[in-house]
């Protein structure tokens, strides 16, 4: 197998945990998880649709070739250390995008849009699938990595309501200069800005997280889209469970 076939077509890095789609294309598990979180159940190479319950398998033959690569151990160590860091944390999603509705107008301003920043949980079904593959592949055993045991955080007591107020302190939205005011700062949820206009542009949002998270500000680029009622992107963050009690 050529080296190109041992690299994930999404992150262009050596695959550590090869997952084969029914179309026979192979992705690394981490990139696959990101696709599922985004709700993209299509192969990124040929766009064929797949069912996450039936059409994804651990590619054992490719894995045998991967473990012989000299950089495998080094990359596996980086991945496992990162997983250890997040082991006793809760994975949440920062959801950003826009909602759109066509309206009747006497001029060219025929689009009502709403740019938003939201916080929500990862689908348990996706998490369970990923955890199943992690255990099945078990790269920690291959490189003799000593994993940290997961401690009991009593997850049943966690409260996933009002997530935005627990995670986000404020959001600065930067609109097109033709809007007045062009900048909007929101200090409580919902963190969203709605306007009427005619053309698309990118809304920049700077998120300041609650101080307890000890997390740097993060910028999100929201490309407005009028082609559907909802355009949404998501990024993962990991937080201490105590913040959700």
Q: What is the pLDDT of residues 56-97, one digit of tens each?
A: 999 999 999 999 999 999 999 999 999 998 888 889 999 999
Least confident among 113-122, 153-162, 233-242: 153-162
Residue with the larger pLDDT of the pair 55 and 159: 55
Q: Please classify residue 46 by burial: count the beta carbons closer than 10 Å to its beta carbon, then call 0-12 exposed, 13-18 middle and 19+ buried.
A: exposed
Q: How many domains does the chain have?
A: 2
Instruction: For residue 191, give its domain range.
Output: 90-122+151-244
Query: Are 239 and 134 members of one domain?
Result: no
Query: Are 79 and 107 members of one domain?
Result: no
The Cα 170–Cα 109 span in angstroms is 29
Query: Are 52 and 104 members of one domain?
Result: no
Query: Are 192 and 101 members of one domain?
Result: yes
| pLDDT of res. 146 | 81
The Cα 2–Cα 169 span in angstroms is 49
CATH number for the domain harbouring residue 71: 3.30.40.10
Query: Are 132 and 163 members of one domain?
Result: no
Q: Please classify residue 130 by burial: count the beta carbons closer than 10 Å to its beta carbon, then call 0-12 exposed, 13-18 middle and 19+ buried.
A: buried
Query: Are 32 and 103 members of one domain?
Result: no
Query: Are 50 and 131 members of one domain?
Result: yes
DSSP annotation of 29: H
Query: Are 29 and 114 members of one domain?
Result: no
| pLDDT of res. 1 | 41
CATH number for the domain harbouring residue 198: 2.60.40.1970
Query: Are 204 and 134 members of one domain?
Result: no
Query: Are 108 and 71 members of one domain?
Result: no
Query: Are 108 and 129 members of one domain?
Result: no
103: CB partners within 8 A, 6+ apart: 110, 111, 112, 196
The Cα 99–Cα 114 span in angstroms is 5
Tell whether pTM > 0.75: yes
Q: Is residue 158 scored above 90 in pLDDT?
A: no
């Amino acid at each position: 197998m050529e080296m190109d076939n041992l690299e994930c077509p999404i992150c262009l890095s050596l695959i550590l945990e090869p997952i084969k789609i029914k179309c026979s294309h192979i992705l690394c598990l981490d990139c696959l998880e990101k696709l599922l979180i985004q709700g993209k159940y299509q192969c990124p190479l040929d766009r064929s649709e797949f069912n996450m319950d039936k059409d994804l398998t651990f590619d054992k033959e490719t894995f045998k070739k991967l473990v012989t690569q000299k950089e495998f151990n080094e990359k596996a160590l980086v991945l496992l250390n990162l997983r250890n860091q997040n082991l006793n944390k809760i994975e949440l999603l920062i959801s950003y995008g826009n909602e759109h509705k066509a309206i009747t107008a006497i001029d060219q301003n025929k689009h009502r849009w709403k740019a938003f920043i939201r916080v929500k949980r990862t689908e348990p079904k996706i998490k369970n699938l990923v955890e199943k593959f992690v255990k099945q592949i078990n790269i920690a055993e291959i490189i003799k990595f000593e994993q940290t045991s997961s401690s009991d955080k009593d997850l049943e007591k966690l409260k996933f309501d009002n997530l935005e107020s627990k995670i986000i302190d404020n959001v600065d939205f930067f609109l097109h200069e033709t809007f007045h005011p062009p900048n909007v700062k929101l200090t409580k949820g919902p963190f969203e800005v709605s306007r009427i206009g005619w053309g698309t542009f990118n809304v920049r949002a700077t998120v300041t997280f609650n101080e307890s998270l000890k997390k740097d500000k993060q910028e999100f680029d929201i490309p407005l889209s009028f082609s559907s009622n909802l355009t949404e992107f998501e990024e993962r963050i990991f937080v201490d469970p105590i913040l959700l009690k």
